[in-house]
Amino acid sequence: MENAKAMAKEREKLPKKETFMQGVITLIFSQVLIKLLGLIYTLYLTNREGFGDKGNGIVAAGYQIYAMLLTISSIGVPNAISKLVSERIAVGDHKGGYRIFKIAFATFAIIGLVGSLMLFFGAHAIANLWLQIPEAEMTLVALSPAIFFVAISSVMRGYFNARQNIKATARSQSLEQVFKTALTIILVEIVAIISHASTQWMAGGATLATTLATFSGFGYLYLYYKTKRGEIAREIKSTVNYKYERVVTIIKKILMVSIPIALTAILSSINKNIDSFTVVRSLKEFMPEDMAIAQYGILGGKVDMLTSLPLSINVAFATALVPAIASAKAKKDKKTISEKTSFSLLTSMLIGLPCTVGMIIFAGPILNLLFPNASAGEVILQISAITIIFTILDQTINGALQGYGKLAIPTIALGCRCTGKTDIKSDFSTNTTNWSKWSSLGLGSLSLSSIYYCNNSFKKKYKIKFEFFKICCKTNISSYYNGNLLIF
């Protein structure tokens, strides 16, 4: 009896955790800041003499390979750790949650190191044989150390998210972007002076800034962890329902959760790599190599950056939903799952539809305003904007499904999208006028199909109800009238 009272007092001393909406708002502000800073250095690079669309093409091609290796080593990690640890914390097992964190940190440090070495030593073959852009070799070498730091940072972010300390993730990401913006401008200017404005060398300097920025993000997380060690120790001391598991068992659990999530992210990265592998290769048959790289730079640089703005804001809901739903599921609270999922979907629609309509209507003025020295790509942006709303809904539903433990559904849906996009590329990439337009339109249709599949699976098989199409109708009508007001 006395022990129970002592444990209760210990739990009362523990600080209050962030609510679901506090976490979402924190992440939204962080993502807005990140994208604004990202816009600054993208505008600088695109308008910088000697860089432009060709420089964007070199960086984008190298970055997609880096992103794919990064996905394998770390992208599924934050959500996986967040899910597993939050399930333990929900039943009072803080010690078990902390043990998962320590084992995951060691595991993904090794995986991240392997990924970095693979990219470093394989940069020459990837740039020359896969991408057929020899200039991208330097960008791949400069990016290789970042994989290790992102892998271990991802484990720490997942642990803090599970503990409802989402502000740690938001602050580390914001700090990382501040350093990336400042270092990109500084390093590119230094390299431009030394190399007499060589596009290849400036692209290498821009990607080196990314690596240095990821180290700064990890440094913040480590310092934050040290300040929270006392609080974590008190939580561990108040543990109830502790269940010991062997190290091998925990690693298997982490991999069983992280691999399906990583597969979803890998397929998403492959979607991007389909462009990097096919666009330049196809266009070189009809135009000079420099022009082909510039055309890919329009799609992979300006258009992708603009269409990803609303996605980066919405990612807050996908991130916060994973621990929230995993915790509610551990408590068998289906009402909370339904309410949070419905609210997140409604907000996602309110973010996505106005952005879609706005970019379709104002594609030309947006490009002229932001990229006065390289404003080509109006039609590509208009067609690509159609995919925004579908991708946003994919993000939110995937976060809900991952929190609920149904990890295969997003992977299957995205696999269908990826296969369909490959077929579309094969059919239309040889048309120098319409390849990007038809590809974007086809991807939008495939996205809608995958959303319907995920929504149907969630509602019928797992008996979780939310008014998806009711939400869609309301927001579509609102966006239609707002779009007409903007036109007239």
pLDDT in tens, 297-345: 777 777 877 888 888 778 777 777 777 777 777 777 777 777 777 777 7
Rounded CA-CA distance 299/275 in Å is: 9
Greatest Cα pair distance, the chain, in angstroms, is 81
Q: Where are the alpha helices (DSSP H) in 371-430?
A: 378-404, 408-428
Rounded CA-CA distance 358/423 in Å is: 29
* More confident of the two residues 470 and 312: 312
Could you give the percent of the chain with pLDDT greater than 70?
Answer: 73
Number of folded domains that form the chain: 1
pLDDT at 220 > cutoff 90: yes
pLDDT for position 80 = 81
103: pLDDT confidence band, cut at 50, 70 and 90? Answer: very high
Mean per-residue pLDDT for 444-452?
Answer: 49
Q: Which of 238-242, 261-265, 281-285 has the highest mean pLDDT?
A: 238-242
**442, 424 in Cβ contact below 8 A?**
yes
Rounded CA-CA distance 210/243 in Å is: 41
**169, 23 in Cβ contact below 8 A?**
no
Rounded CA-CA distance 358/382 in Å is: 9
* More confident of the two residues 437 and 305: 305
Mean per-residue pLDDT for 242-264?
Answer: 82
Rounded CA-CA distance 268/194 in Å is: 37
pLDDT for position 101 = 92
pLDDT at 143 > cutoff 60: yes
Question: Per the domain annotation, does 7 fall within a domain?
Answer: no
pLDDT for position 212 = 92
**80, 250 in Cβ contact below 8 A?**
no
pLDDT at 87 > cutoff 60: yes
Mean per-residue pLDDT for 282-301?
Answer: 72
pLDDT for position 189 = 87
pLDDT at 436 > cutoff 50: no
Domain residues for the domain of 295 are: 18-487
pLDDT for position 346 = 80
pLDDT at 408 > cutoff 50: yes
pLDDT for position 433 = 47
465: pLDDT confidence band, cut at 50, 70 and 90? Answer: low
**301, 53 in Cβ contact below 8 A?**
yes
Mean per-residue pLDDT for 43-51?
Answer: 80
Question: Per the domain annotation, does 11 fall within a domain?
Answer: no
Question: Per the domain annotation, does 252 fall within a domain?
Answer: yes
pLDDT in tens, 191-212: 888 888 788 888 888 888 888 9
pLDDT for position 6 = 47
pLDDT for position 275 = 62
Mean per-residue pLDDT for 149-171?
Answer: 87
Question: Per the domain annotation, does 440 fall within a domain?
Answer: yes
pLDDT for position 224 = 93
Mean per-residue pLDDT for 117-121?
Answer: 89
pLDDT at 232 > cutoff 80: yes
pLDDT for position 425 = 53
Q: Which of 46-60, 132-146, 224-238 has the highest mean pLDDT?
A: 224-238
Rounded CA-CA distance 197/456 in Å is: 54
Rounded CA-CA distance 315/251 in Å is: 27
Question: Per the domain annotation, does 5 fall within a domain?
Answer: no
Query: pTM, whole model, 2 decimals?
Result: 0.68
pLDDT in tens, 376-405: 778 878 888 888 888 888 778 777 777 777
Question: Per the domain annotation, does 10 fall within a domain?
Answer: no
pLDDT for position 486 = 43
* More confident of the two residues 224 and 43: 224
pLDDT for position 225 = 92
Question: Per the domain annotation, does 96 fall within a domain?
Answer: yes
pLDDT for position 218 = 93
pLDDT for position 484 = 43
Question: Per the domain annotation, does 6 fall within a domain?
Answer: no
